[in-house]
């Protein structure tokens, strides 16, 4: 049977507020356990939550960016369950009146088309702490630093049809929240965590199949793999005539499989009800419009502008616009170099390669964009060959400094004096008389291949400093002239 995959994602985005959503404690990642948890976070008796309005502004920013309906009234509810890292015994969340209602975003499919994915809602809630099960001699440790960190839970419509689409959606979401500056988007630190709802149905059937939810997947790669392995598992069951159990599952990246965590019957009755410690939050149109007017240029708009303004291909424009930092970096390079195409090539080529090797984000790039722009300028004015430019790039990367200073210090200036080049070539030709004979006897097709030998010898003799275009031209003139 032909099966259709139905996927919906619930993404928890940690908002980059300086303090927690309902207390004044700091939200910095990586502090010593329980040093960033105040009396409110510890749920000490008599402590009360006070809503951090910065979280509201961030949620509304997100809502505006996905063209969503923003609710004028948001209500915080208590979601009740017992767990040691949930100090109050309930999580403050939003059930019936989330801050952000229906919106959407567009993803690019592999065939080059775009697909619009609906977003059902995005609501504010607080994060729980962490339970640590190792190093406590059979007991568990509780770290409440994360308890009370603001989260925006973004729920998509079940409109994703493959693991690839799910990843594209997640990447787009990542790109939007980082563009907006509402989250650092660092998945390795849990700033973005994803629950994947997966089901299958016979192609053409309208009714959804029974779904499972894979909890807390924390990288793009794992989202793709987890969904793929879950699709495979469900398909095996269905093909064998079995049925899917509605349940929560966990993805084990080591075994590349999902396994059951709890079934629907074991699910908590969360006993949601409006939190009487918090008043409903009211915002008016002016508040929303003020935030909307301050939105930065978003990835889709930037991509279109890059293609038009810089004459880049859609693909290049899309890659460069995917992250705000990369786009900003590219634009700074471009501003200095005045050559968009070459700038794009260097940012997406050599720079990306080095970042990759160093496992670095562009925000941690040791090479200032201005220097890369200057490097490109030196290629354009023939000071450097592209091979020499790569050497300078490496030095800049490793030791920093200024492009011109490095060129000066290392004597890397390209030789463009034609009499000097002619002298070197005369020597090369004199030393390789038999190859010269062969070249002259060959036809055009063979000559095209053989010229490389002479170029190579000449570049070697010049210690790489001769301008390759000039070398090529002079060689052809001397060999054929």
Partner 1 sequence: MFPDTVKAILEGLNKGDFSSEEITTELLARANRHQPDFNAFITLDEEGALAAARQADEARRSGQAGQLLGLPFAHKDLFCTQGLRTTCASRMLESFVPPYESTVAARFRQAGAVCIGKTNMDEFAMGSSNENSHFGAVRNPWNTEYVPGGSSGGSAAAVAGGLVPAATGSDTGGSIRQPAAFCGISGLKPTYGRVSRLGMIAYASSLDQGGPMAHTVEDLAILLGVMAGLDEADSTSAEEAVPDYSAALEQPVKGMKIGLPREIFEAGKVGQTEPAIQAAIESLKSLGAEFVDISLPHIDLSVPAYYVIAPAECSTNLSRFDGVRYGHRCDNPKDLEDLYARSRAEGFGEEVKRRILVGTYALSAGYYDAYYRKAQQIRRLIKQDFAGAFQAVDAILSPVTPGSAFRIGEKTADPVQMYLEDIYTVPVSLAGLPSLAIPAGLLNGLPVGLQLTANYFRESTLMQLGHQFQLHTNWHQQRPSTSGRPD
Alpha helices in 181-240 (DSSP H): 220-239
For partner 1, the closer of residues 44 and 442 by Cβ is 44
Q: Are 249 and 229 in contact (CB under 8 A)?
A: no
For partner 1, the closer of residues 35 and 205 by Cβ is 35
For partner 1, the closer of residues 54 and 328 by Cβ is 54
Residue 278 touches partner 1, criterion: CB under 8 A: yes
CA distance 256 to 97: 38
> Which residues have CB under 8 Å from 161's CB, separation 6+?
4, 5, 6, 7
Residue 280 touches partner 1, criterion: CB under 8 A: no
Residue 204 touches partner 1, criterion: CB under 8 A: no
CA distance 418 to 319: 40
Residue 138 touches partner 1, criterion: CB under 8 A: no
Of the candidates 358, 348, 353, 287, the residue with the CA atom closest to the CA atom of residue 318? 348
Residue 277 touches partner 1, criterion: CB under 8 A: yes
- Least distance from C-beta 21 to partner 1, angstroms? 13
| Direct distance between the N- and C-terminal alpha carbons of the chain, in angstroms, rounded to an integer | 71
- Least distance from C-beta 90 to partner 1, angstroms? 5
Alpha helices in 350-432 (DSSP H): 352-357, 369-380, 386-399, 403-410, 418-431
For partner 1, the closer of residues 128 and 475 by Cβ is 128
Q: What kind and span of H or E run contains 122? A: strand 114-126
For partner 1, the closer of residues 248 and 462 by Cβ is 248
For partner 1, the closer of residues 141 and 190 by Cβ is 141
Q: Are 116 and 169 in contact (CB under 8 A)?
A: no
3-state DSSP assignment of residue 121: strand
Considering only residues 47 through 106, tell me which ones interact with partner 1, judged by CB under 8 A. 47-51, 78, 80, 82, 84, 87-90
Residue 279 touches partner 1, criterion: CB under 8 A: yes
Binding piece for partner 1, criterion CB under 8 A, among 40-48, 297-305, 355-363, 410-418: 40-48
Residue 45 touches partner 1, criterion: CB under 8 A: yes
- Least distance from C-beta 94 to partner 1, angstroms? 15
Residues that bind partner 1 (CB under 8 A): 39, 42-51, 78, 80, 82, 84, 87-90, 142, 269, 271-273, 276-279
């Amino acid at each position: 049977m032909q099966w259709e995959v139905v996927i919906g994602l619930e993404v928890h985005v940690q908002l980059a507020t300086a303090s927690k959503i309902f207390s004044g404690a700091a939200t910095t990642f990586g502090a010593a356990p329980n040093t960033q948890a105040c009396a409110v976070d510890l749920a000490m008796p008599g402590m009360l939550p006070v809503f951090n309005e910065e979280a509201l502004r961030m949620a509304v920013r997100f809502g505006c960016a996905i063209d969503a309906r923003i609710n004028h009234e948001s209500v915080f509810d208590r979601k009740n369950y017992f767990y040691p890292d949930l100090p109050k015994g309930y999580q403050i969340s939003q059930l019936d009146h989330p801050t952000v209602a229906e919106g959407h975003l567009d993803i690019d499919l592999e065939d080059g088309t775009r697909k619009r994915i609906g977003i059902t809602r995005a609501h504010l809630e607080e994060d729980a702490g962490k339970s640590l099960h190792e190093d406590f001699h059979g007991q568990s440790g509780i770290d409440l630093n994360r308890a009370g960190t603001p989260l925006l839970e973004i729920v998509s419509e079940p409109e994703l049809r493959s693991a690839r689409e799910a990843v594209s959606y997640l990447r787009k979401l990542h790109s939007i929240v980082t563009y907006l500056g509402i989250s650092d988007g660092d998945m390795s630190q849990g700033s973005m965590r994803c629950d994947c709802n997966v089901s299958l149905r016979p192609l053409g059937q309208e009714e959804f199949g029974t779904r499972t939810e894979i909890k807390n997947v924390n990288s793009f790669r794992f989202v793709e793999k987890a969904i793929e392995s879950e699709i495979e598992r469900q398909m095996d069951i269905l093909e064998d005539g079995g049925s899917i159990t509605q349940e929560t599952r966990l993805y084990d990246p080591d075994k590349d499989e999902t396994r059951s965590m709890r079934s629907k019957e074991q699910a908590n009755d969360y006993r949601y009800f409006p939190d009487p410690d918090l008043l409903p939050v009211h915002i008016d149109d002016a508040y929303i419009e003020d935030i909307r007017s301050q939105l930065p240029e978003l990835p889709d708009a930037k991509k279109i502008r890059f293609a038009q303004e810089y004459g880049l291909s859609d693909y290049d424009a899309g890659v460069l616009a995917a992250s705000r930092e990369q786009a900003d970096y590219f634009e700074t390079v471009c501003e200095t170099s005045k050559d968009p195409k070459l700038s794009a090539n260097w940012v997406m080529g050599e720079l990306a390669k080095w970042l990759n090797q160093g496992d670095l984000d562009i925000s941690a790039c040791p090479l200032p964009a201005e220097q890369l722009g200057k490097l490109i300028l030196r290629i354009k004015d023939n000071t450097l060959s592209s091979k020499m430019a790569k050497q300078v790039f490496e030095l800049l990367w490793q030791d920093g400094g200024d492009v011109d200073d490095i060129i000066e210090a290392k004597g890397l200036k390209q030789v463009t004096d034609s009499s000097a080049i002619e002298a070197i070539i005369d020597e090369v030709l004199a030393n390789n008389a038999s190859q010269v004979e062969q070249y002259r006897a060959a036809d055009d097709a063979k000559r095209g291949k053989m010229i490389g030998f002479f170029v190579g010898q000449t570049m070697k003799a010049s210690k790489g400093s001769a301008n390759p275009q000039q070398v090529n031209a002079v060689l052809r003139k001397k060999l054929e002239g």
